[in-house]
């Protein structure tokens, strides 16, 4: 008994030092492997973000003879008295509030349609995805042309309704400019989330559907009690990614409307870019970015909280 | 009978939606071969989507007279391919360290990386312009190298900010976790180092993930517009998307715009169609868990 214990215990100290040595080497190797990505993220994301926050409290301009001074909350006081800023907040919220359910829901419908086991399904998946692969700048230019008063959208609408719908200048009217941009954005982006939903659908075990069929479940019941609960994780991912993407609306506005007509399509990120880059008010633009960052963070945290696992 | 009807309805739905997604792109490609007046003339009928009438390559020759399109294409191919290669290596290395190795601070780094996902690039683009002007740069000057500062007007300023990407790291991380860790232990017993495990075992097993990250890195690199507009002044360093802005100076020709748009879009669509199977399968196999 004692000899056995002794025999078992003798090699231990040696092994432990070798083990800590291996651990340390593992740690150093891991740091070395993570370092390139971490350094690049620090240089190109963390530092400029920190600079943005610092600049928000100064009077820096892009090109200025005098060095930047600390001005406290001046930029924010000005910001909260700026009617265009509130318009851009409202437009951004409107865009996100429509695009998130519309794009998420349509993407799920597309995913269900191409999850069927029929011939040619791969073809449809590919076609629905094509706009995602197309550059947003190209898409925006193309649709600017389609949305013209004498453009293709009006011609198609008129043909489908036998001339009952009056042609209009979709992007030139404050009432229709934002809805037009929303439709185009969903058209461009929905294919990506279709693939994400599809990935989720394919993780649901087929046995669950067989069991539901045995119980005589209708198609709606199958969706409600098997498919929908099975997509819980995917739902969170789709919700958060579309929200972040929608709140950052910029390219479409920059190419199609430049915020007009009558500021009906101006957004927070567009405002930040315009004041910062075109009007060279770097510090003021930075304060817009800071407010925007806090808002996105708050929205993401609320969404995370609402979709948390309730175990 | 109802199941047959349902199948039929599903198929009609699929076809109608396919038209909605494809027709604007078909219109773009078809119009690129038509003279301007015919593009407008055809809008009222199905001819808008058909290659009929006075088709020619005039718009394409016009494009090459108007902008240095070959140079732009070359620049974009160079920029996007280097970004993709670096992006796959850098992000997979980081994901490997984060998902398969044990070290203090690992969880914290992963959380911090994912947190960078919520910040749109545009919000810090301006300070980034100022910041890259302070970065040191090694330039070739005649026959010797010299240190200067400022990355404006270079290739690397169009490449390096796009390389490290939180989504790619997260994606590789999820994929690597699906590969059994026992393989690593067995390899270590056989005397393999961590880098060997990464290069000889894990990466060869991750083909679909590499394909997906390659596509998701390529697209923003190829499509980048705002960033090169801000940091590149010399024409010979410009990428393809910036070329679009040339067509709105002086007399606008929609035929030429469609031709240039098709030139910079259709090759990418073709590449995607060629690789789409591994792309879709790869996203499906990681089963993205939020």
Report the domain count for chain B: 1
Q: How confident is the model at residue A7 (pLDDT cuts 50, 70, 90)?
A: very low
| Chain B residue whose CA is closest to A277 | B126
Q: Can you give the residue ranges of every domain in chain A?
A: 2-55, 79-306
In a domain, B156, yes or no: yes
| Chain B residue whose CA is closest to A114 | B14
Beta bridge partners of B141: B144
Average pLDDT value for residue range A60-81: 81
pLDDT in tens, B227-282: 998 889 888 999 999 988 888 877 888 999 999 999 999 999 988 888 777 777 67
Distance to chain A for B2, nearest Cα, Å: 12
Percent of chain B with pLDDT over 70: 96
Per-residue confidence (pLDDT) for residue A253, from 0 to 100: 92
Whether B288 shows a pLDDT value over 60: the answer reads no
Query: A55-69, A231-245, B85-99: which range is least confident on average?
Result: A55-69
> Interface pTM (ipTM) of the complex?
0.87
Q: Tell me how long chain B is.
A: 290
Q: Which of A55, A114, A145 sits opposite B127 (nearest CB)?
A: A55
Answer yes or no: do A33 and B160 touch at CB < 8 A.
no
Whether B98 shows a pLDDT value over 50: the answer reads yes
Average pLDDT value for residue range A51-74: 81
Which of residues A164 and A267 earns the better pLDDT score? A267
Average pLDDT value for residue range B10-37: 92
Per-residue confidence (pLDDT) for residue B284, from 0 to 100: 64
Enter the CATH code of domain A79-306.
1.10.3720.10
Average pLDDT of every residue of chain A:
85
Q: Looking at beta carbons, which residues of chain A come within 8 Å of B223?
A: 135-137
Distance to chain B for A309, nearest Cα, Å: 11
Q: Which of B28, B277, B290 sits opposite A233 (nearest CB)?
A: B290
Which of residues B13 and A20 earns the better pLDDT score? B13
Percent of chain B with pLDDT over 90: 32
Closest CA to A26 of B201, B195, B113, B179: B195
Q: How does DSSP classify residue B287?
A: T
Average pLDDT value for residue range A249-253: 90
Per-residue confidence (pLDDT) for residue A12, from 0 to 100: 52
Per-residue confidence (pLDDT) for residue B2, from 0 to 100: 67
Residue that the structure tokens 């067989």 belong to: A210
Which of residues B95 and B105 earns the better pLDDT score? B95
Contact B214, B88 (CB under 8 A): yes
Two tokens, residue B203: 């990466």
Average pLDDT value for residue range B34-52: 86
Whether A13 shows a pLDDT value over 60: the answer reads no
In a domain, B26, yes or no: no
Average pLDDT value for residue range A9-33: 72
Whether A3 shows a pLDDT value over 50: the answer reads no
Tell me the CATH number at B190. 1.10.3720.10
Answer yes or no: do B91 and A37 touch at CB < 8 A.
yes
Which of residues B186 and B2 earns the better pLDDT score? B186
pLDDT in tens, B123-162: 788 888 888 888 887 777 777 777 777 788 888 889 999 9
Query: Rounded to an integer, what distance in angstroms lies between the CA atom of residue A108 and that of residue A227?
Result: 11
Query: Which residues make Cβ contacts (< 8 Å) with residue A105, sequence separation at least 6?
Result: none
Residue that the structure tokens 């517009």 belong to: B225
Query: Rounded to an integer, what distance in angstroms lies between the CA atom of residue A167 and that of residue B154?
Result: 47
Query: Rounded to an integer, what distance in angstroms lies between the CA atom of residue B145 and that of residue B147?
Result: 7
Answer yes or no: do A130 and B118 touch at CB < 8 A.
no
Residue that the structure tokens 């409307």 belong to: A257
Residue that the structure tokens 């969170």 belong to: A236
In a domain, B161, yes or no: yes
């Amino acid at each position: 008994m004692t000899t056995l214990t002794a025999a078992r215990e003798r090699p231990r100290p040696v092994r432990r030092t070798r083990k800590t040595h291996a651990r340390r080497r593992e740690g150093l190797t891991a740091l070395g492997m993570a370092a390139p990505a971490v350094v690049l993220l620090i240089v190109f994301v963390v530092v400029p973000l920190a600079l943005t926050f610092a600049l928000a409290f100064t009077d820096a301009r892009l090109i200025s003879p005098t060095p930047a001074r600390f001005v406290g909350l001046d930029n924010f006081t000005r910001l909260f008295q700026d009617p265009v800023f509130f318009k851009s907040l409202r437009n951004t919220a409107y865009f996100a509030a429509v695009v998130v359910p519309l794009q998420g829901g349509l993407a799920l419908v597309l995913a269900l349609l191409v999850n069927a086991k029929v011939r040619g399904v791969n073809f449809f998946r590919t076609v629905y995805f094509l706009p995602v692969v197309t550059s947003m700048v190209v898409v925006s230019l193309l649709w600017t042309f389609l949305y013209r008063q004498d453009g293709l959208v009006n011609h198609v609408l008129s043909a489908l309704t036998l001339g009952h719908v009056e042609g209009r200048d979709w992007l030139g009217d404050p009432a229709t400019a934002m809805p037009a941009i929303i439709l185009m954005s969903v058209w461009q982006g929905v294919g990506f989330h279709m693939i994400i939903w599809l990935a989720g659908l394919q993780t649901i075990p087929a046995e669950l559907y067989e069991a539901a069929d045995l119980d005589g479940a209708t198609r709606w019941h199958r969706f409600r009690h098997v498919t929908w609960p099975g997509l819980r994780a995917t739902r969170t991912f789709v919700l958060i990614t579309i929200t972040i993407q929608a709140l950052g609306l910029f390219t479409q506005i920059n190419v199609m409307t430049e915020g007009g007509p009558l500021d009906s399509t101006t957004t927070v990120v567009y405002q930040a870019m315009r004041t910062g880059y075109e009007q060279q008010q770097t510090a003021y633009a930075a304060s817009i970015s800071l407010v925007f960052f806090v808002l996105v963070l708050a929205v993401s945290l609320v969404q995370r909280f609402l979709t948390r696992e309730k175990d | 009978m109802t199941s047959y009807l349902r199948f039929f309805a599903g198929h009609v739905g699929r076809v109608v939606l396919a038209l909605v997604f494809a027709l604007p792109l078909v219109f773009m490609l078809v119009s690129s071969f038509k003279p301007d007046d015919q593009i407008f003339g055809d809008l009222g009928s199905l001819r808008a989507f058909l290659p009929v009438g006075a088709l020619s390559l005039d718009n394409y020759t016009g494009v090459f007279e108007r902008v240095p399109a070959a140079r732009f294409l070359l620049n974009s191919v160079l920029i996007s391919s280097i970004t993709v290669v670096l992006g796959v290596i850098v992000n997979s290395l980081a994901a490997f360290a984060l998902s398969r190795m044990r070290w203090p601070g690992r969880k914290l780094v992963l959380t911090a990386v994912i947190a960078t996902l919520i910040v749109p690039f545009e919000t810090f683009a301006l300070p980034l312009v100022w910041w890259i002007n302070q970065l040191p740069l090694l330039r070739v000057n005649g026959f010797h190298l010299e240190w200067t500062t400022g990355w404006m007007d270079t290739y690397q300023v169009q490449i390096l900010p796009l390389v490290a990407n939180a989504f790619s790291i997260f994606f590789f991380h999820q994929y690597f976790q699906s590969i059994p860790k026992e393989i690593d232990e067995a390899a270590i017993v056989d005397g393999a180092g961590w880098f060997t495990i990464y290069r000889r075992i894990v990466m060869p097993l991750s083909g679909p993930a590499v394909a997906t990250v390659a596509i998701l890195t390529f697209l923003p690199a190829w499509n980048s517009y705002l960033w090169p507009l801000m940091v590149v002044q010399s024409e010979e360093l410009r990428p393809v998307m910036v070329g679009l802005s040339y067509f709105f100076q002086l007399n606008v020709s929609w035929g030429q715009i469609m031709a240039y748009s098709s030139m910079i879009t259709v090759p990418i669509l073709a590449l995607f169609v060629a690789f789409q199977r591994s792309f879709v399968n790869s996203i499906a196999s990681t089963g993205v868990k939020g």
